[in-house]
A and B are shown apart, each in its own frame.
Chain A
Amino acid sequence: MKGRTWQAIVALVVICSLTSTPFGVAADQCRTCHEALGDKPSTLFKRDIHSQKGVSCADCHGGVASAEDMERAMDKSKGFIGVPKGDAVSEVCAKCHGDAKRMAQFRSMIPIGQFKALQASVHGRLSTTGKERIVQCTTCHNAHGIVQVADPASPVYPLNVVKTCTKCHADAAFMQKYNPSLSVDQLEKYRTSVHGMRNAKGDPKTAECASCHGSHEILPSADVRSRVYPTNLPGTCAHCHADASYMKTYGIPTDQFEKFSKSVHGVALLEKHDLGAPACNKCHGNHGATPPGVESISKVCGSCHALNADLFSSSPHKKAFDERKLPECETCHGKHEIIAATDKLLGNSQEAVCSRCHSERERAKGYQVAGTMRSLIDSLELLERKAQLLVSDAEQKGMEISEARFKLRDVRQARLEARTKVHSFNEGQFREVVAKGFATALVVGEEGQQAIDEYYFRRLGLGVATLIITIVAISLYMFIRRIERSAVHKQTSI
């Protein structure tokens, strides 16, 4: 083993001396020797963008590139560092990539903040050794043979990114060390998505990992600054999907984001920052993003609106919709533009969605049931409003009526429950819930009215009591006057 090392050193010295110029000065002696040896780094470096831009081996590894003598060339006192290890790798890259002046010398348009972004990203956290960060520049870009991102040979070229990321992210043993709860099947799911399938077919425009998660600045999805944080996600998707010229070749609409922003879900998520509201991924999936099929819409919506979905699935509408291939929830409520459902959707008036399929002549039973349901829920709302007015009036009059106010919640609850029960399309079930609301609303109204009556009774009682007290007081006054007068009379008569 020792003999072989010596042989290699002797060979290198011989090659170096043979290839040196008579004047003893060479442009890059490192490459001269290493290329002659035919080692992998020097071979790869030939097509490296850095090589093309004039970056020498010594620019990264240190030492004296012009020195013919190997010992002088790799003299540590002259800054030779050999193969950088750990964080030193990224620091070597950042020497130029973090320096605007140097990058300007190469006429590069690459942003200079990547190193800092990487450090602040989830990949910039310390590795299990505790000595270095998890990811270095070379982890994704390789060390030698680096080409431009737009070059199909680059590991970060859109068609290659997925493979590069999954080197770690599909490795369960590796990922377990850092985030055991994070799934490692993203690639599998991605390949089932429209994005993944197109990407596999060679379309570099479709979304890959970096399109949604970013590149150097990737943050955990729970981080509010992350591009895939629920409130940021619609904007991330819209980056491509709302760009008409970018999406032109795909022939799909680009107004989803606009519609979603105005929808009940969009307003809740984007304006009220309600994280319970769905972002794009809740319906379409994350890595396996795809439009939900007609048959699975109620399941997708039902993941949140479980009761409605269950009722719908066991209703007569399920079969009818399936036969006509009508998307379940979407047919009545719409998709991206879903607005808050009101009672107006129900009934047999023109604006009601029921009347789109039911009329007095066609499917008349549904027409009739829809009309009854609407009139019942309208009556309940009216009763609730009446009870509410009575309670407010009593409260304004200073009456203690908090119990009735509390019961009003039950009426509202019954109305909400009735709205859910609409999805059973069963008049009997619907009536049962509404009747509960009617009964409570009547009790509340009665209590409100009683409180108002009590208020007037109190005033009347006060009037009577005040009158009696005043009469007693006047009588007392008269009596005092009388006894005092008679006392004076007695005194004077004495």
Chain B
Amino acid sequence: MSSILKKTYEWIDKRVQLETLVEFMGKKYVPVHRHSIWYYFGGVSLFLFIIQVVTGILLLLYYKGSEQLAFESIQFIMSKVQFGWLIRSIHSWAANLFILSAFIHMFSVFFERSYREPREITWITGMFMLFLGMGFGFSGYLLPWNELAFFATKVGTDIAGVLPFVGKPIMVFLRGGDEVTGATLSRFFGFHVAVLPGIFTVLLSIHLVLVQRQGMSEPMGMENVPASERKTMPFFPNFLLRDLLFWLIVLNVLAILAVFFPWELGKKADAFASAPAGIRPEWYFMFMFQTLKFIPAKVLFIDGEVLGVLLFGAAGLLWMIVPFWDRKSSRGEKSRLINYVGLFVVVYIIIFTTLGYVL
């Protein structure tokens, strides 16, 4: 048995020089410090993304992306397909856990200033992936074609439509017309299974290659610690096994959530029905949605909603280009402003998300 494995390894090695990779992996070390725990959330996000891809492909075997059949096909998956209920439930739960894990990963990178030179591209690709992840969530939410998703998409695309000049064309492009219809479902399906995954894969590849090339970022001030006092662990197998351990824990949590809290299907969307009470976006859009509700209809001469969307756009952009304006961190100096900004954003998101559910 072992001789077959050895022969196979040698066969591949001869062609793709595996030895170099193994050598690279063997020499790769991960810093060990009191913040090491945050390193694992990148891996957890990756794991959840893989689950999404696998379960997504399985759902694709039965899902039908049309106005007439979408709801019924999910119903079929939930009731007739062997373990279809589990796959759909895991897909829905993993999507939410993915966003949560990506948020934690993003904030840990932010507070650790891991975005600083030379990891600006890693940060930017990561931010783009987070936005894409939210795009996945937004487009996937409509696919079951149920009442809540239908109206939430209506509200969501309405918000996009308030942007000056480009808003209306964006809204029409997203909806495939002036209203949310079967055309919207078809293109959301296309975005969800083809466009977004394609872009995401490219970004993920760049992100992972950079992580491997540059290694894990060390917390600020570590460079002042003498080399003899710095703790590390081999990437292979120690870190990878720990990563695996985390993945197993996440898998367990996911299984429990999927079985105990199966994702509901609700009522089929009806464009002529009145909007149901309590239309809410997914939780990760809630803080923005709630803010828009609080902004007065008119602020000076600007429409309140337009102002809100523009402010969030500007804040998102500033956040994404933080490696370029936070020069202090790149120089290795401590910047309190970053801590304050980060804390403000975290507290803001928590408070407004809570308000969104309480009010």
A: which residues have CB within 8 A of B?
A: 398-403, 458-459, 461-462, 465-466, 469-470, 472-473, 476-477, 479-480, 483-484, 487
**Out of B75, B237, B252, which one reaches A466, CB within 8 Å?**
B252
Residue of B nearest to A461 (CB): B259
Given contacts A469-B252, A480-B241, contact A401 B79 (CB under 8 A): yes
Alpha-carbon distance between A403 and B80 when the two chains are bound, in angstroms: 10
Residues of B within 8 A of A403 (CB): 75, 79
Q: Is B159 close to A, CB under 8 A?
A: no
Residues of B within 8 A of A487 (CB): 238
Q: Are B245 and A480 closer than 8 Å at their CB atoms? A: yes
The 6 closest A-B pairs by CB, nearest first: A400-B78, A473-B248, A462-B259, A400-B79, A398-B262, A469-B252
Q: Are B85 and A466 closer than 8 Å at their CB atoms? A: no
Alpha-carbon distance between A472 and B251 when the two chains are bound, in angstroms: 12
Q: Are B242 and A480 closer than 8 Å at their CB atoms? A: yes
**Out of A400, A401, A473, A483, which one reaches B245, CB within 8 Å?**
A473
Using an 8 Å CB-CB cutoff, how does the interface string of B170-187 with A read, 1 for contact, 0 for none?
000000000000000000
Q: Are A458 and B248 closer than 8 Å at their CB atoms? A: no
Residues of B within 8 A of A472 (CB): 248
Q: Are B255 and A469 closer than 8 Å at their CB atoms? A: yes
Using an 8 Å CB-CB cutoff, how does the interface string of B71-97 with A read, 1 for contact, 0 for none?
000010011000001100000000000
Residues of A within 8 A of B248 (CB): 469, 472-473, 476
What are 29 A-B pairs with beta-carbon distances under 8 A? A398-B261, A398-B262, A399-B79, A400-B78, A401-B79, A402-B75, A402-B79, A403-B79, A458-B259, A462-B256, A462-B259, A462-B260, A465-B255, A466-B252, A466-B255, A466-B256, A469-B248, A469-B251, A470-B252, A473-B248, A473-B249, A473-B252, A477-B245, A480-B241, A480-B245, A483-B238, A484-B233, A484-B238, A487-B238
Alpha-carbon distance between A477 and B248 when the two chains are bound, in angstroms: 11
| Chain B at the A interface: SS class | helix
Q: Are A476 and B241 closer than 8 Å at their CB atoms? A: yes
Q: Are B238 and A400 closer than 8 Å at their CB atoms? A: no
B: which residues have CB within 8 A of A?
A: 75, 78-79, 85-86, 233, 237-238, 241-242, 244-245, 248-249, 251-252, 255-256, 259-262, 264-265
Alpha-carbon distance between A469 and B265 when the two chains are bound, in angstroms: 28
Alpha-carbon distance between A470 and B245 when the two chains are bound, in angstroms: 10
Residues of A within 8 A of B261 (CB): 398
Residues of A within 8 A of B259 (CB): 458-459, 461-462
Alpha-carbon distance between A483 and B236 when the two chains are bound, in angstroms: 11
Given contacts A462-B255, A466-B256, A483-B237, contact A400 B75 (CB under 8 A): yes
Residues of A within 8 A of B237 (CB): 483
Alpha-carbon distance between A402 and B242 when the two chains are bound, in angstroms: 43
Interface centre among A398, A401, A403, A479, by most chain B C-beta atoms within 10 angstroms, is A398
CB distance from B249 to the nearest CB of A (A): 6
Give me 18 other A-B pairs in contact (C-beta within 8 A), A466-B255, A466-B256 excluded: A398-B264, A399-B79, A400-B78, A400-B265, A401-B79, A403-B75, A403-B79, A459-B259, A461-B259, A462-B255, A462-B256, A469-B252, A472-B248, A473-B245, A476-B245, A480-B238, A484-B233, A487-B238
